[in-house]
Amino acid sequence: MQKRLIGLFLCAIAVCGLASIASPALGKDPVKIIYDTDMGNDIDDVFALAMLNNLEKRGEIDFLAITLTKDNKYAAPYCQLIDAFYDNPNVPIGAVKDSGCETFDGKFLRQTLEAKDENGDLMFPFFDLANDKTQYYDSVELLRKTLASQEDGSVVIAQVGFSTNLARLLDTPGDDYSPLNGRELAAKKVKYLVAMAGNYVERQKEYNVIKDVPSAQKVFAEWPTPIFASGFEVGREIHMTGDMMKNDYEYVKYHPVKEAFKYYRGSLDAEQCTWDLTTILFAARQDRGYFDLSESGEITVDDEGFTTFEPKADGKAKYFKVSREQIVRVQEAFAWLCSEKL
């Protein structure tokens, strides 16, 4: 009996220890996050969206809106499907208009929305694409509407796609949502911008930058709040493994994240870099030490799409750094936050 009590006591300590790692600090207000994404080009955007939904269920964030920079008609419905799966169907979604940025369907958007089971029925009948009549916001309008309604200095924007929406926001005049122009509105309402963009250890072009170079140049030059950049080199080192994909999503027969992964990678045995997820983890848990940061400086984007960081004491930008020990911690957090059932 005494051994059993000791065992139960040790189990309780272990559970409490895990809870202290996985749960938000007591007394902290949820982080208000807008997710700006090119959903449909790579599967890491999907994992990031799953994380956002689970972080909101935990009470760690207030998931304000999704704004899209991929100019494809299936991107918004796919986001709606994911949110509905996580019992969070009311997150406002904005679609980009007339950007010309990556209009193709990609490998998993339409495919997952239309996926059928072995009986020929929709795998995810809670969202019927054929009968969807949703009128989605314009992305920039939704940014203005959302920011105007929040407290000053309270919003974190996680940009994991192109800079199209944020560049357009900067140029907007005052409107019915706010008399402030876009730059003034961002300066007043945004706490900081965290962006998956660029490369800060190698001279290498990065996808999110080169797909809309003028917008990236504008945002890094003119954005009025602090900027934290997660470079290509960070997410490249942190992976979702095949074992995670095969084992962690088995609590339902069909999981839209898992099915999308199969469409995109072709196999559950593949590994996936986690570029976009790094921004979400930082936004939600900035004070947990998952990443180190560079000194302050300025990020510039040249006409070819190369990013350069120049240290400056009064600079508004910093970029992520990650150690081998941090990589292990971050990977564990990703595995938990993407797949857990709350």
Q: What is the pLDDT along the chain (342 residues), one digit of tens a residue?
A: 433 333 433 344 334 444 444 455 456 899 999 999 999 999 999 999 999 999 999 999 999 999 999 999 999 999 999 999 999 999 999 999 999 898 999 999 999 999 999 999 999 999 989 888 899 999 999 999 999 999 999 999 999 999 999 999 999 999 999 999 999 999 999 999 999 999 999 999 999 999 999 999 999 999 999 999 999 999 999 999 999 999 999 999 999 999 999 999 999 999 999 999 999 999 999 999 999 999 999 999 999 999 999 999 999 999 999 999 999 999 999 999 999 986
CA diameter of the chain: 72
CATH architecture, domain 31-339: Alpha-Beta Complex (3.90)
Among the listed residues 283, 169, 272, 303, the one whose alpha carbon sits nearest the alpha carbon of residue 228: 283
Among the listed residues 198, 193, 191, the one whose alpha carbon sits nearest the alpha carbon of residue 230: 198
Cα 27 from Cα 149, distance rounded (Å): 23
Which pLDDT belongs to residue 27? 62
Helix H or strand E encompassing 193? strand 190-196
Cα 219 from Cα 169, distance rounded (Å): 10
Which pLDDT belongs to residue 341? 84
Task: Assess contact for 334 and 51: CB atoms under 8 A.
Answer: yes
Q: CA triplet 288, 225, 323: central angle to 5 degrees? A: 30
Residues 6+ apart with CB under 8 A from 6: none
CA distances from 52 to 171, 217, 282, 301 (A): 28, 28, 12, 29
DSSP β-bridge partners for residue 309: 299
The secondary structure of 156-214 as a DSSP string is EEEE-S-SHHHHHHHT----SS-SS-HHHHHHHHEEEEEEE---SSSS---HHHHTTHH
Cα 171 from Cα 307, distance rounded (Å): 23
Structure tokens, 250: 């088995």
Our measurement of the distance from residue 180's CA atom to the centroid of its chain's CA atoms, rounded to an integer in Å, reads 27
DSSP β-bridge partners for residue 93: 66
Residues 6+ apart with CB under 8 A from 53: 63, 82, 83, 86, 88
| 3-class DSSP assignment, residue 118 | coil
Cα torsion angle, 55, 57, 62, 63, sign: positive
Kind of pairing between the strands at 61-68 and 31-37 = parallel
Q: How much is the pTM? A: 0.92
Cα 210 from Cα 187, distance rounded (Å): 26
Cα 296 from Cα 169, distance rounded (Å): 25
Cα torsion angle, 101, 86, 169, 199, sign: negative
**C-beta atoms surrounding 286 within 10 Å:** 17
Which pLDDT belongs to residue 17? 41
